[in-house]
């Protein structure tokens, strides 16, 4: 009798362990979705922050972080995350939509120079193909160029040689175009650095210290170009060309995986 | 009786034994019984047009249980509204037993006068017998029963009921009435007529059920939902000088559809009447009676012809009309909404469809209609709203007007007309292409954004995916480029080499001859290190023979001095080299068969000469 009871408890224990092992634990990303759905945006933000530390290059997590920040009435932080999602995945249409929507809400209206035709073509192709798509296109074109060139040199009869030469020429054009495009992306990724103002209102000074005079003020959500950095200060350039210095912690860097320290922006100065 | 007392238990036991003995004796008496007889009676010989009368057919005798109805009674002056209701009873009185079966039918009279209740056919012991018709006088209204009615052969089961001998309880007569009541018997077409179905009673009512619903022909009927908890449904009223308890069972509002005199179809109610007895146990006797409503006639008058507006289309009541625009200025192609509301009391459901007057250059869509109508105070009240979407196709000021609404007001017995003031819609902008002005009958409605928000979060599996990073930053991406370049260049080089060699076979052969000669020279050197031998001379001779064939195409059969000089001269080989070649070949030809003769001959010298010769012939200086 005693042995039967022990055996039953053992079986039950194994069953519980098996069930517990079969049920997958909830990942932080999933937990964030659940918390966001129940309106707990702060908790969702924390969960997705945890998830993004494990997968820093995941554009979808930044997109969701942006949604949570927007629900927490932090448009600057939301703009930063949406911009970062675009940086990681230039074809992220929903992040682009949300950026446009936040642009209609933020305070600052800075006239921007219209982009040039090459920039428009680059942005359209990059958003359509993606950076990896362009890379793959270039690799494929190069492989075809190599094969067609070798075949054009090898083949003797004229029709085949002419076909091979056409293929070679066309793929050469494609390859060169994709290489130029990729070069543009690489240059942009490596040289251009953008930031988003996180403070509700931030004075921009003429130099990297509080003793320098205030030139103008910017507000939360404005996207600026980051051109220089000293200890605790960053030099920003507005789309209309105005530039100045602001404290480093009041601007979020788009081309980075760092997360803002504070989930909710703090009024500065 | 208190059954908890032991004495009562003993009394009950004795009573049970006695009852058992009585039943057994009765069964024996039945066995000796004779055939039955059939008798028909009426519950009253004088009734009102609003009353019911019961035909009771009683069959008595030992075979009464087997009696059955062959043909139901029917007559043109009465309508059968109930039955047959069958009951049987066994009685044992003074030692003799009898068996009785009672079949009842209920009728309502259809007219007044001296009428006859119809006869019924009964089959008993295989023979069909017919009851006699019973004369009944029917008068207008309601009357109390003139006779107490037939005595029931059954009485009551209560042995202590002192009323048991009274038989079936009498019809309550005027103590129970069903009436249709309306305040107005003369109305105009479309004027609301409130109508109540009221039960008047001075007896105890156990329940009621509708036996027959009347019809309201010539009327549009709106039924009022009565709240069962509404205290106003029950009350006390006087009728013919007598006070009654009353209960409103149904309430309607009738709207006459055409002029004329309309008799309202009677309603018939089955009522369970409870009569208290003087029973020791306080039992009640229950009786189901039928009641029919009084006959009422509603006179519906047509509208007067004097002063009738041309646009009048039979609307009766009291109405008001209001119209408004949601915006007074729009751009061309932009929609404005006209809200037209008719409110008042009367049959709002019969209000004709409203419309806007057509305007050139303006597109008016079919309206959306909304009702807010309720039954209140014996009529319909509320409003009906039409919403028109108006889109100006060209710039200008458009005056939107609504046709006049005419109605007849029964209170003042006069016609009235209402119309809202014209609305002005100012449109600016360029002309918009359209299908033309007027009601198109389409239901195209321009949609408008009511709000904006960010897009929703992503919930797919991509959230948990770790992206591998940019493709162009991975090492193997660049490695593939290098491999492709190397493979392509290698393939091109191999092809070019092969093509080059195939382009000049002689050159290729020459090249091959030099390679082979050097290879053979190494073999001869190995032989020379062992000393002079026939093999060494044979090897050198074969080397030269193969070389000349491969390099200059000289076959071994034509290997003569003259031929050699001719060919080597053609290939710009010097005289000295040619002479040296011939000398070596002759020595090898000579000494390979007699190597012992060549004692002073050193193999190193031979091989050195051979090497110098090959260099000269390949174009190098010795």
Q: Is B265 exposed, middle or buried (0-12, 13-18, 19+ CB in 10 A)?
A: middle
Write down the pLDDT at residue A143: 92
Q: Residue B139 maps to which CATH number?
A: 2.60.40.10
Question: Taking CA atoms, what residue in A is nearest to B459?
Answer: A33
Tell me the per-residue pLDDT of B595-615, one tens digit each, with 9 for 90 and over: 666 666 678 888 888 888 888
CA distance B539 to chain A (A): 42
Q: Does B492 touch chain A (CB under 8 A)?
A: yes
Contact B112, B138 (CB under 8 A): yes
| B108 and B133, same domain (yes or no) | yes
Under an 8 A CB cutoff, do B469 and A61 touch? no
Residue B101 lies in a domain: yes
What residues pair up with A229 in beta bridges, in sequence order?
A234
Q: Any idea what the Cα angle at residue A105 is, between residues A100 and A106, rounded to 5°?
A: 100
Residue A143 CA from chain centroid, whole number: 30
DSSP 8-state code for residue B532? S
A2-103 CATH choice from 1.25.40.10, 3.40.50.261, 1.10.1060.10, 3.40.50.300: 1.25.40.10
Percent helix, strand and coil across chain B, each to the nearest 5: 25, 35, 35
Question: Taking CA atoms, what residue in A is nearest to B478?
Answer: A139
- Best mutation target, B452, B454, B464, B492, to test chain A (most A CBs within 10 A): B454
Under an 8 A CB cutoff, do B488 and A64 touch? no
- Paired tokens of B284: 């009640």
Question: Is the peptide bond between B295 and the residue preceding it cis, with omega within 30 degrees of 0?
Answer: no
Write down the pLDDT at residue B89: 77
At B346, which helix (H) or strand (E)?
strand B336-346
- Best mutation target, B452, B453, B457, to test chain A (most A CBs within 10 A): B457
Q: What class does CATH assign to A194-253?
A: mainly beta
Q: Which residue has the higher pLDDT, B122 or A69?
A: A69
Of B463, B470, B477, the CB nearest to A29: B463
| B139 and B210, same domain (yes or no) | no
Percent helix, strand and coil across chain A, each to the nearest 5: 60, 15, 30
Alpha-carbon distance of A252 to A226, in angstroms, equals 10
Residue B188 lies in a domain: yes
CA distance A18 to chain B (A): 24
Number of DSSP helices (H) and strands (E) in chain B, helices first: 7, 32
Q: Is the pTM of this model over 0.95?
A: no
**Which candidate, A221, A171, A185, A179, places its Cα nearest to that of A201?**
A221
Q: Which of B9-18, B111-120, B363-372 has the weakest average pLDDT?
A: B9-18
Chain A from 153 to 172: CB within 8 A of any B CB: 153-154
Domain assignment of residue B548, given as a range = 505-617
| B207 and B288, same domain (yes or no) | yes
Tell me the per-residue pLDDT of B252-263, one tens digit each, with 9 for 90 and over: 888 888 888 888
Residue A36 has pLDDT above 70, yes or no: yes
| B45 and B145, same domain (yes or no) | yes
Mean pLDDT of B214-227: 83
Q: Is B291 exposed, middle or buried (0-12, 13-18, 19+ CB in 10 A)?
A: buried
Strands B317-325 and B53-60: unpaired
With b for 16 or more beta-carbon neighbours within 10 A and e for fewer, the B185-206 pattern comes to eebbbbbbbbbbbbbbbebeee
Left if phi > 0, otherwise alpha if psi is -120 to 50, otherwise beta: which for B125?
Answer: left
Domain ranges of chain A: 2-103, 117-191, 194-253
Q: What is the mean pLDDT of chain A?
A: 86
| B48 and B92, same domain (yes or no) | yes
Task: Tell me the chain B residues in contact with residue A147 when contact means C-beta distances shorter than 8 Å.
Answer: 488
Q: What is the mean pLDDT of chain B?
A: 79
| B324 and B296, same domain (yes or no) | no
Under an 8 A CB cutoff, do B470 and A146 touch? no
**Which candidate, A261, A255, A211, A216, places its Cα nearest to that of A233?**
A211
Q: Which of A166-175, B270-279, B320-329 has the weakest average pLDDT?
A: B270-279
Tell me the per-residue pLDDT of B84-117, one tens digit each, with 9 for 90 and over: 888 877 766 666 667 788 888 888 888 888 888 8
Alpha-carbon distance of B144 to B140, in angstroms, equals 12
Task: Tell me the chain B residues in contact with residue A101 when contact means C-beta distances shorter than 8 Å.
Answer: 452-454
Q: Which of B87, B121, B154 is the last residue in one of the domains?
A: B154
List, as one string, the DSSP characters of B540-552: HHHHHHHHHHHHH
Task: Tell me the chain A residues in contact with residue B456 when contact means C-beta distances shorter than 8 Å.
Answer: 67
Q: Any idea what the Cα angle at residue B282 is, between residues B276 and B285, rounded to 5°?
A: 40
Under an 8 A CB cutoff, do B492 and A150 touch? yes
| B35 and B150, same domain (yes or no) | yes
Q: Residue B337 maps to which CATH number?
A: 2.60.40.740
Tell me the per-residue pLDDT of B441-500, one tens digit each, with 9 for 90 and over: 444 556 767 678 888 898 888 888 887 778 888 888 889 989 999 999 999 998 888 877
Contact B254, B192 (CB under 8 A): yes
Q: Which of B154, B185, B205 is the last residue in one of the domains?
A: B154
Q: Which of B420, B439, B458 is the last residue in one of the domains?
A: B439
- Paired tokens of B546: 């193969």
**Total domain count, chain B:** 4
- Paired tokens of B206: 């156990």
Residue B357 lies in a domain: yes
Count CB atoms within 10 A of the CB of residue B247.
15
């Amino acid at each position: 009798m005693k042995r039967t009871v022990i055996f039953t408890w053992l079986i039950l224990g194994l069953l519980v362990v098996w069930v517990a092992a079969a049920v997958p634990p909830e990942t932080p990303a999933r937990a964030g979705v659940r918390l966001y759905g129940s309106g707990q945006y702060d908790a969702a933000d924390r969960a997705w922050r945890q998830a993004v530390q494990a997968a820093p290059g995941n554009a979808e997590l930044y997109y969701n972080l942006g949604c949570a920040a927007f629900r927490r009435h932090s448009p600057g932080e939301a703009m930063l995350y949406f911009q970062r999602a675009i940086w990681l995945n230039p074809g992220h249409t929903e992040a682009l939509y949300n950026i446009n929507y936040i642009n209609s809400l933020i305070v600052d209206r800075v006239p921007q120079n219209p982009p040039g035709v090459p920039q428009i073509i680059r942005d359209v192709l990059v958003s359509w193909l993606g950076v990896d798509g362009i890379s793959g296109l270039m690799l494929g074109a190069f492989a075809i160029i190599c094969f067609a060139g070798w075949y054009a040199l090898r083949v003797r009869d004229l029709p085949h040689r002419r076909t091979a030469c056409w293929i070679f020429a066309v793929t050469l054009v494609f390859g060169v175009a994709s290489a130029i495009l990729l070069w543009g992306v690489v240059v942009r990724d490596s040289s251009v650095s953008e930031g988003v103002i996180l403070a509700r209102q931030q004075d921009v000074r003429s130099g990297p210290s509080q003793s320098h005079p205030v030139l103008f003020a910017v507000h939360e959500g404005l996207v600026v170009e980051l051109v220089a950095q000293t200890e605790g200060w960053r030099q920003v350039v507005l789309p209309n060309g105005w530039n100045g210095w602001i404290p480093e912690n009041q601007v979020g860097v788009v081309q980075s995986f760092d997360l803002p320290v504070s989930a909710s922006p703090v009024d500065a100065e | 009786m208190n059954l908890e007392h032991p004495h009562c238990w003993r009394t009950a036991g004795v009573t049970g034994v006695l009852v058992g003995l009585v039943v057994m004796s009765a069964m024996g008496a039945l066995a000796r019984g004779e055939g039955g007889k059939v008798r028909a009676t009426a519950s009253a010989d004088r009734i009102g047009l609003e009353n019911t009368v019961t035909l009771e057919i009683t069959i008595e005798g030992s075979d009464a249980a087997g009696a059955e109805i062959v043909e139901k009674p029917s007559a043109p002056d009465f309508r059968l509204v109930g039955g047959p209701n069958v009951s049987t009873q066994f009685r044992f009185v003074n030692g003799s037993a009898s068996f009785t079966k009672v079949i009842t039918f209920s009728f309502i009279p259809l007219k007044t006068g001296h009428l006859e209740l119809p006869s019924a056919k009964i089959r008993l012991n295989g023979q069909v017998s017919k009851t006699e018709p019973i004369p009944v006088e029917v008068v207008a209204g309601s009357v109390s029963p003139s006779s107490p009615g037939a005595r029931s052969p059954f009485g009551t089961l209560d042995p202590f009921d002192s009323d048991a001998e009274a038989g079936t309880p009498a019809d309550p007569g005027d103590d129970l009435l069903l009436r249709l009541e309306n305040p107005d018997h003369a109305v105009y077409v479309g004027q609301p007529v409130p109508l109540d179905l009221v039960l008047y009673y001075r007896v105890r009512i156990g329940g009621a059920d509708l036996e027959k619903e009347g019809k309201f022909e010539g009327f549009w009927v709106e039924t009022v939902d009565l709240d069962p908890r509404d205290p106003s449904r029950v009350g006390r009223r006087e009728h013919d000088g007598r006070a009654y308890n009353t209960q409103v069972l149904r309430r309607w509002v009738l709207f006459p559809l055409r002029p004329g005199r309309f008799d309202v179809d009677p309603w018939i109610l089955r009522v369970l009447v409870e009569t208290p007895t003087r029973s020791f146990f306080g039992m009640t006797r229950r009786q189901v009676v039928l009641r029919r409503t009084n006959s009422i006639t509603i006179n519906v008058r047509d509208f007067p012809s004097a002063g009738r507006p041309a646009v009048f289309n039979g609307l009766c009541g009291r109405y008001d009309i209001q119209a408004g625009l949601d915006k007074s200025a729009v751009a061309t192609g932009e929609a404005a909404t006209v809200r037209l509301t008719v409110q008042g009391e009367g049959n709002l459901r019969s209000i004709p469809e409203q419309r806007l007057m057509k305007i050139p250059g303006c597109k008016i869509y079919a309206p959306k209609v909304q009702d807010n109508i309720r039954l209140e105070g014996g009529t319909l009240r509320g409003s009906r709203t039409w919403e028109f979407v108006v889109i100006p196709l060209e710039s200008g000021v458009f005056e939107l007007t609504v046709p006049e609404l005419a109605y007849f007001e029964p209170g003042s017995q006069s016609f009235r007309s209402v119309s809202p003031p014209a609305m002005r819609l100012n449109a600016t902008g360029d002309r918009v292409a359209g299908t033309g002005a007027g009601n198109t009958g389409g239901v195209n409605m321009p949609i408008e954004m009511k709000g904006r928000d960010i897009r929703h979060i992503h919930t797919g599996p991509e959230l948990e995916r770790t992206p591998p990073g940019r493709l162009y930053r991975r090492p193997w991406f660049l490695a593939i480029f290098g491999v492709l370049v190397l493979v392509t260049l290698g393939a091109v080089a191999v092809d070019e080499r092969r093509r080059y060699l195939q382009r000049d076979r002689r050159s290729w052969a020459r090249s091959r001859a030099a390679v082979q000669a050097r290879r053979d020279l190494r073999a001869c050197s190995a032989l020379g290190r062992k000393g002079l031998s026939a093999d060494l001379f044979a090897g050198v001779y074969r080397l030269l023979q193969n070389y000349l064939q491969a390099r200059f195409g000289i076959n071994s059969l034509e290997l003569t001095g003259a031929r050699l000089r001719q060919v080597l001269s053609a290939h710009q080989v010097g005289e000295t080299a040619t002479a040296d070649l011939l000398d070596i070949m002759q020595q090898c030809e000579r000494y390979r068969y007699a190597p012992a003769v060549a004692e002073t001959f050193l193999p190193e010298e031979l091989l050195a000469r051979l090497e110098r010769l090959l260099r000269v012939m390949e174009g190098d200086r010795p």
